[in-house]
Amino acid sequence: MPRYRLRVFGSVQGVGFRPFVYRLATEMGLKGFVLNDPSGVLMEVEGPKEVLDRFLVRLREEKPPLAHLFGMELEVLPEKGYSSFEIRKSGEEGKKEVFVLPDVATCEECLAEVFDPSNRRYRYPFTNCTNCGPRFSIILRLPYDRRNTTMAAFEMCERCRAEYENPADRRFHAQPNACPECGPWLELWDAAGQKLAERDGALRRAVELLKEGKVLAVKGLGGFHLVCDATNEEAVRLLRERKRRGEKPFAVMFRDLDQLREYAETDPFEEALLLSPESPIVLVRRREGSPLAPSVAPRLKKVGAFLPYTPLHHLLLRDFGGPLVMTSANLSDEPIVKDNGEALERLAGLADYLLVHNRPIANRVDDSVVRAIGGRRIFIRRSRGFAPMPITLPFRLRRRVLAVGGHKKSVVAIAWEDKVVLSQHVGDLDTVKAREFFEEAVNTLKRLYEFEEEVVVCDLHPRYASTAWAERYSREAGKPLIKVQHHFAHALSLMADAGLGEDGALLAATWDGTGYGTDGTVWGGEFLRATYSGFERLARLRPLRLLGGDRAVKEPRRVAFAVCFDLFGEDLSKYPEEVLKSFGPREAELALSVLKRGINSPLASSAGRLFDAAAALLGILSVSSYEGQSGSILEDLYDPSVRDFYPFGFDGFEVDWRPLFEALIGDRSPLEVRVSRFVNALAQVVKTVFDRKWEGERLGLTGGVFQNKPLTERVLELLKGREVLLHQKVPPGDGGLALGQAVFAGLT
Ligand code: ZN
Ligand code: ZN
Ligand code: FE
């Protein structure tokens, strides 16, 4: 009888893999052992060859839902004569190749227990098992063992320990295993930190307060949420004012899919995304006349919806009844708050009460945001539930890399061999707190993986906080620093995301708001031919003037004014009423003189700014209160039945939008038609340039503008029959930059 020694690599620890192997081997009458070691799971199985081979097949096919196998090594050895099959103690030596798992939404079985009055975990908010619960948010170091998590301080009671030690139990080695007797508990505090209630009493009181229209800070999985009644306009408006949030939409948590369907129109694919174990926020279309408070998502027809993903959420939502606004608890652009003390200090002015608990959060991690585009899942933000799962490359890197990403929607990464591990969402690096979180994210990845890079890579932009950090850090550490052009990094990110081999080539539309070009000007509407070693800028959008510099990025009216100047010069009588109104006569004269002299109005070939211009020219938005607002409003007005488009020019390098805006300004059709003709024209631009420049490469769309659903879907439609690569594993926006940077530096 032969003996198979199997080494399994991947996310195989803490997901019930060993008990699964134990059950399978025992059931098939095989002898041997299984154990966790630093590189994954090691097992030996002995028995008749045909049974062993069937075991291999079943191992892959029947593995637990959360186990991801990256590879398997098989050695065939002579019989050893094992008398039983056993789970052995973990080995500690050897190279670390175990991956930190993301947090997982509560499973069906745990949920049933939480709502079963006869179960000992009835209404217990911290119920979990090997198939669900916290992972990344509680891990301090590898290997993933209770003593290395923030659950270390909780001594398991007898019954929990029995579950934990029984290979046949669903909670065998479920590291955060807990019950009301031995685990963490809730407390309700007032804004001064005074305890008002605890355990189930705290939960019930919190629900009453929410019904009274209060704003609560609720400690969740990866940080605090600010929570209020999503149908109470007064409460939502109050939260918006306190958070100084402008018009940026809030996410809403619904009790379950049935309730969500009353408020939004979802399709089966979106519902699958909502119900997935990662449980992200999904952008869905609001149902007309639904009772959601208007302040949840001003001017938008969509809403970021998600379902409960911890027992605490399930209890809150069921007790409360209606949907709840659940937005990351922070002050404007600062990172999400994770500790109780931090919450008291920073959220006191925002929340009336705090619902806290005593299971510390090791790693703060915001909710992920996705949407369905062209039948695919597109990330807006890749964080909880996904980070820090590695992305596997189809080739091996030659050097170990630390990639620091961009400046907005910052995400960092470490990469070695064929793996890239991206951090959770860090956010915009405009505040001191955000830059501290940035360093925290770098250090966490390095600590968890005991990783030391050989090279550091950053963006070319001299004013990105991440670039400044990388310059200083690499100098002090004596490590080489590589800088990668922003849009090239977007293209590389897409190539790696799509699994293009080392000799791959891509013709990409890389469209976003802004990025620093190799010529020192602002780029953002580029067509690149890229390989893993370099790129060529094949075409671009005609640059427009950013009237007032950085202020133009936040004020679409300024971009629109500059476009009008480009079209009509000083003849203000030809400028649309909507634009003039947003300026007033004095300011308009001033703007004219600035543009005439060409001062304080740098050129930018940005696609994002075209959306701004259109929004202002159409009188929809003159000053935006968050990044991407104009695109977000415009896409909601899009009518897919409109098929025609505004004209534009293309001379082989530059796409000229002057005919487009001239037509848009002169068009007296309804708003929806004009918006649709504008979006259709941009899609047509992509097709035209692709047709002219294509030399057999793969085609792809990358950059934040391709989070725009109608634009992206229209491009796919125009290019039907040809394969167009879209991002699947990382966001098309700057949250995906670090992946592109990492592969470039790792291959150089
Ligand atoms: Zn579970
Ligand atoms: Zn217990
Ligand atoms: Fe970008």
Listed residues 25, 53, 87: the one ending a domain: 87
According to the model, what pLDDT value does residue 10 have?
A: 77
DSSP string, 556-595: HHHHHHHHHHHHHTT-GGGS-HHHHHHH-HHHHHHHHHHH
- pLDDT band per the 50, 70, 90 thresholds, residue 93: low
- Is residue 707 located within the same domain as residue 737? no
| pLDDT at 370 > cutoff 60 | yes
Q: Report pLDDT digits (tens) over 417-452.
A: 999 999 999 999 999 999 999 999 999 999 998 899
**Residue 82 within any structural domain of the chain:** yes
- Asked whether the beta carbons of 134 and 100 are under 8 A apart, the reply is no
In this structure, are 556 and 440 located in the same domain? no
The residue-averaged pLDDT of 300-308 equals 98
Q: What's the Rg (C-alpha) of the chain?
A: 27
pLDDT at residue 625 above 90?
yes
Please indicate, yes or no, whether residues 235 and 340 belong to a single structural domain of this protein: yes
Q: Is the pLDDT of residue 70 over 80?
A: no
Helix H or strand E encompassing 113: helix 108-114
CATH of the domain at 220: 3.90.870.10
560: in domain = yes
Q: Which residue type occupies 576?
A: P
Q: What is the pLDDT of residue 121?
A: 98
> What residues flank ion ligand 3 with Cβ within 5 A?
512, 515, 734
Task: Name the pLDDT band for 624 (thresholds 50, 70, 90).
Answer: very high
Amino acid 13: pLDDT: 77
Ligand 2 centroid to 155 CA: how many Å? 8
Ligand number with the minimum distance to the CA of 129: 1
Distance 432 CA to ligand 1 centre (A): 38
Q: If DSSP states are collapsed to H, E and C, what string results for 123-170?
A: CCCCCCECCEECCHHHECCCCCCHHHECCCCCCCCHHHHHHHHCCCCC
Instruction: Tell me how far the alpha carbon of residue 651 lies from the centroid of ligand 1, in angstroms.
Output: 59
Element holding 613 (H helix, E strand): helix 607-617
pLDDT value for 91: 65
Structure-token match 């585009």, residue found: 373
Distance from residue 544's CA to the centre of ligand 3 (Å): 17
State what percent of residues in the chain have pLDDT above 90: 88
Structure tokens at 332: 């404007």
- Nearest ligand (C-alpha, residue 406): 3
Examine the domain organization and report whether 25 and 46 are in the same domain. yes
pLDDT of residue 58: 93
Task: Note residues around ion ligand 2 (Cβ under 5 angstroms).
Answer: 157, 160, 179, 181-182
Identify whether 193 is part of a domain. Answer: yes
> Which tokens is 410 given?
């910052």
Res 545 pLDDT > 90: yes
CATH code at position 544: 3.30.420.40
Domain end call among 357, 379, 407:
357
Check whether residue 196 and residue 339 sit in a common domain: yes
163 assigned to some structural domain: no
Q: Is residue 282 part of a domain?
A: yes
Q: 66: domain CATH number?
A: 3.30.70.100
Q: How far is residue 658's CA from residue 566's CA, in Å, rounded to a whole number?
A: 8
Q: Looking at the domain assignment, is residue 106 inside a domain?
A: no
Same domain, 81 and 200: no
Flag whether pLDDT at 73 surpasses 90. Answer: no
Confidence class of residue 333 from pLDDT cuts 50, 70 and 90?
A: confident
- Contact status, residue 654 vs residue 538, Cβ threshold 8 Å: no
* Phi-psi sector, 183: left (phi>0), alpha (psi -120 to 50), beta: beta
User: For all residues of the chain together, what is the average pLDDT?
Assistant: 95
Distance 112 CA to ligand 1 centre (A): 9
CA distances from 237 to 298, 345, 465, 629, 633 (A): 11, 23, 33, 19, 20
- Number of folded domains that form the chain: 4
Residue 132: pLDDT band (50, 70, 90) is very high
Domain check: are 695 and 630 in the same one?
A: yes
Residue 339 has pLDDT above 70, yes or no: yes
* Shared-domain flag, residues 494 and 396: yes
**Lowest mean pLDDT, pick from 92-101, 265-274, 644-653:** 92-101
- CA–centroid distance, 732 to ligand 3, in Å, is 8
Q: What is the dihedral of CA 537, 543, 546, 549, to 10 degrees?
A: 40
The pLDDT of residue 698: 97
Is the model's pLDDT at 11 over the cut of 80? no
Q: What is the pLDDT of residues 666-716, one digit of tens each?
A: 999 999 999 999 999 999 999 999 999 999 999 999 999 999 999 999 999
641 belongs to a structural domain: yes
pLDDT at 319: 98
**Is 19 or 746 the better-scoring residue by pLDDT?**
746
pLDDT at 348: 86
Q: 696 and 735 in one domain?
A: no
Residues 735, 379 contacting (CB under 8 angstroms): yes
Mean pLDDT across 43-58:
93
pLDDT of residue 95: 55
Rounded to 5°, angle at Cα 94 from 91 and 97: 100
- The lowest-confidence range among 166-170, 350-354, 657-661 is 166-170
pTM beyond 0.85: yes
Where does the pLDDT of residue 88 fall: very low under 50, low under 70, confident under 90, or very high at 90 and above? confident
Ligand nearest to the CA of 490: 3
The candidate with the shortest Cα–Cα distance to 419, out of 390, 442, 388, is 390
Look at residue 162 and tell me if it is in a domain: no
- Cα 8 to ligand 3 centre (Å): 37
Question: What is the reported pLDDT for 664?
Answer: 98
469 and 570 both lie in a single domain: no
C-alpha of residue 358 to centroid of ligand 2, in Å: 15
- pLDDT value at residue 31: 96
735 CA from centroid of ligand 3 (Å) = 9
- Looking up residue 441, the CATH number of its domain turns out to be 3.30.420.360
- Residue type for position 67: A
Mean pLDDT of 313-337: 94
Does the pLDDT value for residue 280 go beyond 90?
A: yes
Give the closest ligand to the alpha carbon of residue 169: 1
Range of the domain at 263: 186-357
Cis peptide upstream of residue 143 (ω within 30 degrees of 0): yes
Lowest mean pLDDT among 29-43, 235-249, 289-303, 535-549: 29-43
Among 335, 357, 379, give the residue marking a domain's end.
357
Whether residues 648 and 698 fall in one domain: yes
pLDDT, residue 97, reads: 60
Q: Provide the sign of the torsion angle of the four alpha carbons 231, 211, 228, 252, taken in this order.
A: negative
> Is a pLDDT exceeding 60 seen at residue 203?
yes
Ligand minimally distant from the alpha carbon of residue 314: 1
* 572 shares its domain with 719: yes
For residue 35, the cross-strand partners are 42
Average pLDDT over residues 134-154: 93
Amino acid 94: pLDDT: 52
